[in-house]
Structure 1
Amino acid sequence: MNRALEVAVRASVGAVAAAAVAVFLPIAFGLMPDRFFGASCTAGEALGTRLACYRFMWNTITVGVFIGIIGPMIGTFLVHREMALIGETLAHTAFAGVAFGTLLFAGTGWDVRLLLVALGAAIVGALGVQALAKRTGSYGDVPIAIVLTGSFALGTLFIDLGGGFAFVDINSYLFGNISITDDRSVTLMALVSLAVVVVVSLAYKQLLFITFDERAARVARVPVAGYNGLLIVLTALVIVGSMQILGVILVAAMLVVPVAAASLVAGSFRETLYTSIVVGEFAVLSGLVLSWLFELRPGGTIVVVAIACYLLAVVRTGRTGSAPTSH
């Protein structure tokens, strides 16, 4: 990565962090004064749009900003460990949790309780993958395929048991729906994001050590199993928080595609981490704007923008992907 690009990436990450602390965390916790929304509405109307006048739009943007941070953050570790498909597995496990939660709370519609049930299911699925992987000796295709297909099968059975869930549009879970990002969901996403960022910051050195040389980490008496479990639980948190906008089918893309694009231009693990966050934020915000303008599903639009960034990086570098080996 050349010096100018590195400076631009670090400045962008700083701007994202500042905006998250100064704007989006206060919105998530209901601390932003009404005059902020009034001023935003006035500014939007001056630009010919009333989108900024709707609170659910701010909820959606807030959740999107958090997704753009924690998705690539966790995804960087997963991609470097060749565990990219684990996100897809946990997404389907979370879907089974949502289906079961809807069966429990039939008639209540979308509720933050569904996210909590989905989170529990995703964590159970994550630990199940880890247990099967330990039995088979690696994070191979077999344990991932078993948990992925099994959890989705359970989800479909729960749907049938609930009579098709007439009270809840199941497509909202499969493809994402910005209208379900209510205040409680946004607050939960903020808490999840804070937890992920704090834990990764505290355990960064250990996670990095295990990512690049798990055998040496064992020799150094690093509790590898514990950190593997921690990483997979963090992945479950990211998946459940992100499925509100992206949906089950596409949520794993935000763990992989921004990192794949960043790895083509970055020269180290840390540069990949920072660059992937920038790519993730660009994909989320651009995708949301395009989805509003052309009345498209936000999940698909966000992922298409992210893939476009990846293809642009491929054209620019002439490579299709290789993870940086330096820290």
Structure 2
Amino acid sequence: MRRNTKRRIELVGIGLTGLLAALMLAFLVLDYLRAYPYASALYEQFRLAGLMLDSALGTNVFYHPFMWRSLATGVLVGIVAPLVGTYLVHREMALIGETLAHTAFAGVAIGLLFSSTTGWGGSLLLSALVVGILGALGVQWLAERTDTYGDVPIAIMLTGSFAVGTLIISYGRGLTGINIRGFLFGNLSVVTPAGARMMAVLSVLVVAVVLATYKQLLFITFDEQAARVARLDVTWYNTLLIVMTAVVVVGAMQILGVILVAAMLVVPVAAATQIAGSFRETLLLSILFGQLSIVGGFAIAISQSLPAGGSIVVVAIGFYLLAILASGRSAAAISTH
């Protein structure tokens, strides 16, 4: 009976998460098409709902489109980050998120320098995405072609990419007025319309890829050697997973910043492993914990005028500690479950 109740709560939570994600995607589509009459009318309904929300909560933020874009980006991050992170944590690759975040930071630095010297007006997130994916492929290449321990290529890429980013920022200081602090620690104002739309497209792609390759990714996660014996293209699926991680990291960097972005790949999954009974349940619960962390973090950030990234991570850690207390298991269960 208790198990059935738990299952129903999980399904309701996933259903509400899906509904919220659909609403946020709808807003981003309407935001893009608001120059057209019908889309404009529906778009104004979102703003009216925001005005009513402001009136009910005593705030003055939800009427503004930038807040809806930030919320939409956060909701999508709360889905795709734990989704990809579940595979990473069970493969003991939690550090890869931090590595690719630093690689994406180098991409931002390159984009800033290129923009300031050539007048290019493209999105910095685009340059971060390109460099992040190249960094992911680089980590994969190093891991397969060196005899060092598995985490050595990751550590080299982490420190090397951040070093390159800091050198470029220092070299180009004064050439641009963009505050790099927002990319380091996250900032709701960093979320541009183009950045939010990019996150929407990438999120849909990541979810679709995970659904299409769920069994293959599960196979290589728990028994890579058996997958090779079964003639599964393990290298391809490893590369696919690490590229999806880079994509998620770049999108989440808008809200959480380079310093904190890896937390959303790991902490909700760590919480889910404490109370889940299977990999599939871990996947679902990690998404729920991720979404609750996003919503709770935004609520704290808005009400107390605090940074959203730090608020989200603190809430996520709170859920992790509660999950440990509820399960009675040790924190070490994350690497063995």
**What TM-score range do you get, normalising by the shorter chain?**
over 0.9
Structure-2-length-normalised TM-score: 0.91
Give 1:40's match in structure 2, choosing from 50, 58, 63: 50
For 1:85, the equivalent position in structure 2 comes to 95
1:95 corresponds to 2:96: no
For 1:246, the equivalent position in structure 2 comes to 256
Q: Deviations over 1:154-182 (max 9, x none)?
A: 00111122125541111101000101212
Q: Give the secondary structure class of the aligned counterpart of 1:51.
A: coil
Q: Counterpart of 2:104 in structure 1: which amino acid?
A: A
Deviation at 1:111, TM superposition (A): 6.8
For 1:20, the equivalent position in structure 2 comes to 21
- Check conservation: 1:261, 1:310, Cα contact below 8 A: yes
Q: Give the secondary structure class of the aligned counterpart of 1:82.
A: coil
Q: Give the secondary structure class of the aligned counterpart of 1:238.
A: helix
- Check conservation: 1:64, 1:284, Cα contact below 8 A: yes
Task: Flag the 1:316–1:46 CA change in 2: closer, same or farther, 3 A.
Answer: closer
Task: Flag the 1:35–1:108 CA change in 2: closer, same or farther, 3 A.
Answer: farther
- Check conservation: 1:264, 1:321, Cα contact below 8 A: no
Name the % identity: 53
For 1:4, the equivalent position in structure 2 comes to 5
Q: Counterpart of 2:315 in structure 1: which amino acid?
A: V
Deviation at 1:47, TM superposition (A): 3.6
Task: Flag the 1:259–1:110 CA change in 2: closer, same or farther, 3 A.
Answer: farther
Q: Give the secondary structure class of the aligned counterpart of 2:123.
A: helix
- CA distance in 2: counterparts of 1:66 and 1:311, whole angstroms: 24
- CA distance in 2: counterparts of 1:274 and 1:259, whole angstroms: 9
Give 1:266's match in structure 2, choosing from 258, 276, 280: 276
In the alignment, structure 2 segments of 5+ residues that lack a partner are 32-38
Task: Flag the 1:210–1:255 CA change in 2: closer, same or farther, 3 A.
Answer: same
Report the RMSD for the aligned CA atoms in angstroms: 2.1
Q: Counterpart of 1:297 in structure 2: which amino acid?
A: P
Give 1:205's match in structure 2, choosing from 204, 210, 215: 215
In the alignment, structure 1 segments of 5+ residues that lack a partner are none
- CA distance in 2: counterparts of 1:258 and 1:194, whole angstroms: 20
- CA distance in 1: counterparts of 2:46 and 2:323, whole angstroms: 37
For 1:293, the equivalent position in structure 2 comes to 303
1:279 corresponds to 2:289: yes
For 2:36, the equivalent position in structure 1 comes to none
Deviating more after overlay: 155-164 vs 200-209: 155-164
Give 1:170's match in structure 2, choosing from 171, 180, 183: 180
Task: Flag the 1:139–1:195 CA change in 2: closer, same or farther, 3 A.
Answer: farther
Structure-1-length-normalised TM-score: 0.94
Deviation at 1:6, TM superposition (A): 2.3
Q: What are the equivalent positions in structure 2 for 1:212-223 lying under 5 Å apart?
A: 212-223=222-233
Deviation at 1:247, TM superposition (A): 0.1
Q: Counterpart of 2:16 in structure 1: which amino acid?
A: A
- CA distance in 2: counterparts of 1:281 and 1:4, whole angstroms: 20
- Check conservation: 2:123, 2:194, Cα contact below 8 A: no
Q: Deviations over 1:187-246 (max 9, x none)?
A: 111001001001111011110111111111111111100000000000000000000010
Task: Flag the 1:164–1:9 CA change in 2: closer, same or farther, 3 A.
Answer: farther
- CA distance in 2: counterparts of 1:278 and 1:108, whole angstroms: 44
In the alignment of these two chains, the number of paired residues is: 325
Q: Deviations over 1:257-311 (max 9, x none)?
A: 0000000000100100000000001111110110111111111110011011111
Q: Counterpart of 1:261 in structure 2: which amino acid?
A: A
- Check conservation: 1:84, 1:256, Cα contact below 8 A: yes
